[in-house]
Amino acid sequence: MEYRGFSSRLETNNPSKGYAREQESLGDDFIDDFRLPINHKPTENVDLDNVEQASLDTQLTSSNVGYRLLQKMGWKGKGLGKDEQGIIEPIKSGMRDPKLGIGKQEEDDFFTAEENIQRKKLDVEVEETEEHAKKRENVRRKFKLRSKKYARFSIVIFAINSTNWQWSLKLISAHMIIIIESVLKK
């Protein structure tokens, strides 16, 4: 009996278990009544007359917090800097994904910009020249090798056995074969 009483005291002291029991007693229907969809935007009982839309097209008003802070620091509405040669209007910010951090979008833009992408093309991306294809085809016929066509590229596939393994190594070193399927026959 003592053990049972001890466990019941633990259950009542643990807030997460109590919350779970409370949720079970309320039922799922009750909880769903108070949830709003993620994309919900209030349309009723909203007074938009006194709301100012932030825009770079309009001048900052004297009620703007940033405007007031600049004035307290001695700004008179002219260019920033010692000789008032700096910018007058606010810095423009571009559209960004709201789920990204402040500097992440610029970083992504840098790495995905076409002028910044400099990589070595893969062998598969480089198209095979006609001269190279004729050489490969002659070698295939000479050694009676099988070939298969994958996408735009003909690929020679052969088996290494005791008779042609030396030629196979020469072909590999000459970059005549793209894929090698090695089957060792005993």
Q: Which of 113, 122, 58 is nearest to 89 (CA)?
A: 58
**Confidence tier at 142 by pLDDT (50, 70, 90):** confident
Structural domain includes residue 134 = yes
Structural domain includes residue 94 = no
| Domain that residue 146 falls in | 130-173
Structural domain includes residue 146 = yes
- Average pLDDT of the chain, as a whole number: 64
The model's pTM is 0.25
Please count the structural domains in the chain. Answer: 2
pLDDT score of 168: 53
Quote the CA–CA distance of 80 and 56 in Å, as a whole number.
Answer: 17
88-96 long-range CB contacts below 8 Å, 24 or more apart?
A: 89/56, 90/56, 90/60, 92/56
Of the CA atoms within 13 Å of residue 39, those in its CB half-sphere come to 0
Structural domain includes residue 145 = yes
Structural domain includes residue 159 = yes
pLDDT digits over 96-116, tens only? 677 777 777 777 777 777 666
What amino acid occupies position 124? V
Structural domain includes residue 148 = yes
pLDDT digits over 170-186, tens only? 555 444 444 443 333 33
Residue with tokens 């409370």: 22
Residue with tokens 């053990």: 3
Structural domain includes residue 56 = no
Structural domain includes residue 6 = yes
Quote the CA–CA distance of 60 and 139 in Å, as a whole number.
Answer: 76
pLDDT digits over 36-73, tens only? 777 777 777 777 777 666 666 667 777 888 888 888 98
